[in-house]
Chain A
């Protein structure tokens, strides 16, 4: 951006005017950080959830152009999107897998914040809005797969409606009010919820939920997008059978984030208790967690009860999620027998998981504290966390190789689309994204190496000193924005080292030289020693 702005013309003046105007809005209050080196994605899982939300918004908006939320047309229109509309298959698959990924990443985000105690840093509103957004996310995903109106969708709608009906006193009125009466209303209204009411509520809550400092890690965003596409290519979502009320449906289970609830429903205990009260209680406990958690310390090791509650919830979620999927494969039994879960057994297991989880937490904390104490007693063996050191030359080589691979993949994807191999093309596009993520990471790594002060070549190779120079901080992170286009410009002259007035400045060409020297002599040996140390 800043490259040509010093030459004033009408366009730059306009852009500057826009920028000055935006400067006074709330968007400038948010600080985007583009990390200049690898940081753990656990810290910005929330941002990744938002990125998936945006992907879902874009693909969903495009799907809206062809989807028809009418009783007798819904399934057919999805079929048309899948089979006829150009790129419809891709959009639908990305939309589906991104929805699953969003629920998953949101869950991970919540549990990471929970166990790391980070949610204690900010006020309770952030946590409470986060839980509400999480519930809305699941509802959003749920309404999404209902409006296909396949057999499974019908099953899901009927369960949702009967659960609403089962609410005491107001239940039937609530079902009428929110879902309408009959399948026609259900499909239309679920669609309205899916595309407007729920997303707008989520957006509104996000305004409250967002912290001011946001980490936007380009490689991680690309990687997660690529992973979504790759999954779509390997496991393309099927259409399901069109719902026909006179044909017995096959056995269907809901999406994985609802099988936990489904396991409870299958116990055939009272609908309201199993389907509304238990999940309601679960959400309520999550909501009040920051008010319960009054420990002064953050680490999970110092908050035993809270950690134990979290582990219990995780254990129960995992067990019920699997249980909801499991259907007795014995086909000689009646369907009801195969589906039914003995409530006594289920609730007994749920109760048993509580002391087990508490015991497990106690053991983990004890082990962790022991390990901490041991680590303090013994001198540290090596400070390097086994990072990989690559010479600058090999970095360029890898970069060029990846670029060539990208070109090949692009051609492959193009031919796959031409030949109608839709999921193969989606798969390849996913890989392209992942490779781009890798390229960006290597670029970033190389750039930070370039700016690092050169290690002294006279020092004998010691494993302690072999820390990668990339760990030093780089300059303004905003430069990363234009990284994609500047890749070649930056790297090629630095590699040649011919021009004294290379872009990277006066000192860099020298430092590059010295880095190269050390790589050929000292660092390479140091690397080998680290590797051998780690093997021991």
Chain B
């Protein structure tokens, strides 16, 4: 089979070996484009190409005309039919209508925010506190606090992390003519909607 190169050959490759090598390289090159590991490995169920309605915990679709100011609900995105998957932290989002002083009275998308509830510090679930004097997201675990307007951590351990680890991922909202609210297909990258549990660059 593979013959030892004789000491006389001076490290030269024989013609037969060269052709074998070329055949092997050719085989690899032929099949390489068909091996798309980069697409096989990530889980595609987190992706969604279509808009999805904002479904409140009571089962109704969020409406711009009925959702109270300075109020928040936990929503699931992307929602599945699997109750175990729906409990997944990485699919829970905080749907917030901003308080009045931050422009929550307006009847357009600028009054609403959807942030990932996974705290950027160590992945506990923070939530929005509407009380006077708070009006911010607070994490129960290590006390990270998030600005409701931008999703940026301004206190606690999450605020000490370097960008993009200090700004919550957010989802883009779309309002239909009947006032029903939808979530636009996200772009999961730090420069787009952010990466859950990791962060986003504030643009």
Is there an interface contact between A185 and B198, defined as CB atoms closer than 8 Å? no
B137 within 8 A of A: no
Q: A71-B85, A158-B122 are contacts. A181–B196 as well, Cβ < 8 Å?
A: yes
Q: A162-B165, A245-B125 are contacts. A336–B157 as well, Cβ < 8 Å?
A: yes
- Give Cα A252–Cα B145 distance, bound, in whole angstroms: 22
Q: A71-B88, A162-B198, A336-B143 are contacts. A180–B125 as well, Cβ < 8 Å?
A: no
- Give Cα A50–Cα B62 distance, bound, in whole angstroms: 59
B residues 159-203 in Cβ contact with A at 8 Å: 160-162, 165, 188-190, 195-198
Is there an interface contact between B189 and A181, defined as CB atoms closer than 8 Å? no
Interface string of A146-178 (1 = CB under 8 A from B): 000000001100110110011000001101111
- Give Cα A268–Cα B121 distance, bound, in whole angstroms: 11
- Give Cα A336–Cα B153 distance, bound, in whole angstroms: 15
Is there an interface contact between A182 and B46, defined as CB atoms closer than 8 Å? yes
Q: Which residues from chain B contact A245 at a C-beta distance below 8 Å?
A: 89, 118, 123-125
Is there an interface contact between B141 and A181, defined as CB atoms closer than 8 Å? no
Q: Which residues from chain B contact A154 at a C-beta distance below 8 Å?
A: 122-123
- Give Cα A271–Cα B121 distance, bound, in whole angstroms: 12
A residues 233-277 in Cβ contact with B at 8 Å: 245-249, 268, 270-271
A184 within 8 A of B: yes
Is there an interface contact between A182 and B87, defined as CB atoms closer than 8 Å? no
Q: Which residues from chain A contact B125 at a C-beta distance below 8 Å?
A: 245-246
Is there an interface contact between B42 and A177, defined as CB atoms closer than 8 Å? yes
- Give Cα A182–Cα B196 distance, bound, in whole angstroms: 8
Shortest CB distance B109–A (Å):
25
B41 within 8 A of A: yes
Q: Which residues from chain A contact B43 at a C-beta distance below 8 Å?
A: 176, 180-182, 185
Interface string of B91-121 (1 = CB under 8 A from A): 1000000000000000000000000001000
Is there an interface contact between A72 and B196, defined as CB atoms closer than 8 Å? no
Q: Which residues from chain B contact A395 at a C-beta distance below 8 Å?
A: none
Contact of A178 among B41, B90, B122 (CB under 8 A): B41
A183 within 8 A of B: yes
Q: Which residues from chain B contact A165 at a C-beta distance below 8 Å?
A: 195, 197-198
Shortest CB distance B3–A (Å):
22
Is there an interface contact between B124 and A249, defined as CB atoms closer than 8 Å? yes
Q: A162-B197, A177-B41 are contacts. A248–B84 as well, Cβ < 8 Å?
A: no
Is there an interface contact between A335 and B142, defined as CB atoms closer than 8 Å? yes
Interface string of B137-165 (1 = CB under 8 A from A): 00011110000000000001100111001
Q: Which residues from chain B contact A72 at a C-beta distance below 8 Å?
A: 84, 87
Q: Which residues from chain A contact B161 at a C-beta distance below 8 Å?
A: 271
Number of A-B contacts (CB under 8 A): 93
A416 within 8 A of B: no
Shortest CB distance B141–A (Å):
4
Total contacting residues, chain B, CB less than 8 A: 35
Is there an interface contact between A184 and B198, defined as CB atoms closer than 8 Å? no
Contact of A172 among B122, B143, B195 (CB under 8 A): B195
A70 within 8 A of B: yes
Shortest CB distance A177–B (Å):
4
Is there an interface contact between B198 and A248, defined as CB atoms closer than 8 Å? no
B38 within 8 A of A: yes
- Closest partner residue, chain B, to A158 (CB atom): B123
Q: Which residues from chain B contact A181 at a C-beta distance below 8 Å?
A: 42-43, 46, 90, 188, 196
- Give Cα A335–Cα B37 distance, bound, in whole angstroms: 42
Residue among B38, B43, B122, B161 facing the most chain A CB atoms (10 A cut-off): B43
Shortest CB distance B139–A (Å):
9
Is there an interface contact between A70 and B140, defined as CB atoms closer than 8 Å? no
Q: Which residues from chain B contact A158 at a C-beta distance below 8 Å?
A: 122-123, 197
Is there an interface contact between B87 and A246, defined as CB atoms closer than 8 Å? no
- Give Cα A173–Cα B41 distance, bound, in whole angstroms: 10
Shortest CB distance B8–A (Å):
26
Residue among B88, B143, B161 facing the most chain A CB atoms (10 A cut-off): B88
- Give Cα A184–Cα B89 distance, bound, in whole angstroms: 9
Is there an interface contact between B140 and A246, defined as CB atoms closer than 8 Å? yes
Q: Which residues from chain B contact A184 at a C-beta distance below 8 Å?
A: 84-85, 88
Q: Which residues from chain B contact A268 at a C-beta distance below 8 Å?
A: 157, 160
Is there an interface contact between A176 and B90, defined as CB atoms closer than 8 Å? no
Q: A172-B189, A184-B85 are contacts. A249–B165 as well, Cβ < 8 Å?
A: no
- Give Cα A161–Cα B121 distance, bound, in whole angstroms: 12
Is there an interface contact between A249 and B156, defined as CB atoms closer than 8 Å? no
- Closest partner residue, chain A, to B84 (CB atom): A72
Contact of B197 among A71, A161, A178, A248 (CB under 8 A): A161
Interface string of A123-158 (1 = CB under 8 A from B): 000000000000000000000000000000011001
Q: Which residues from chain B contact A180 at a C-beta distance below 8 Å?
A: 42-43
- Closest partner residue, chain A, to B38 (CB atom): A177
Shortest CB distance A343–B (Å):
12
- Give Cα A179–Cα B43 distance, bound, in whole angstroms: 9
- Give Cα A268–Cα B161 distance, bound, in whole angstroms: 8
Sample (28) of A-B pairs whose CB atoms are under 8 Å apart: A71-B84, A72-B87, A155-B122, A158-B122, A159-B122, A161-B198, A162-B165, A162-B198, A165-B197, A172-B189, A175-B198, A176-B41, A176-B42, A177-B42, A182-B88, A183-B89, A183-B90, A184-B84, A184-B85, A185-B43, A245-B89, A245-B124, A245-B125, A246-B125, A271-B162, A335-B142, A335-B143, A336-B143
B: residues with CB less than 8 A from A are 37-38, 41-43, 46, 84-85, 87-91, 118, 122-125, 140-143, 156-157, 160-162, 165, 188-190, 195-198
Not counting A71-B87, A336-B157, a sample of 20 additional A-B residue pairs whose C-beta atoms are within 8 angstroms of each other reads A71-B88, A72-B87, A154-B123, A155-B122, A158-B197, A161-B198, A175-B198, A178-B41, A180-B43, A181-B42, A182-B91, A184-B85, A184-B88, A185-B43, A246-B124, A246-B125, A248-B141, A268-B160, A271-B165, A335-B143
- The 4 closest A-B CB pairs, nearest first, are A182-B90, A177-B41, A176-B42, A245-B125
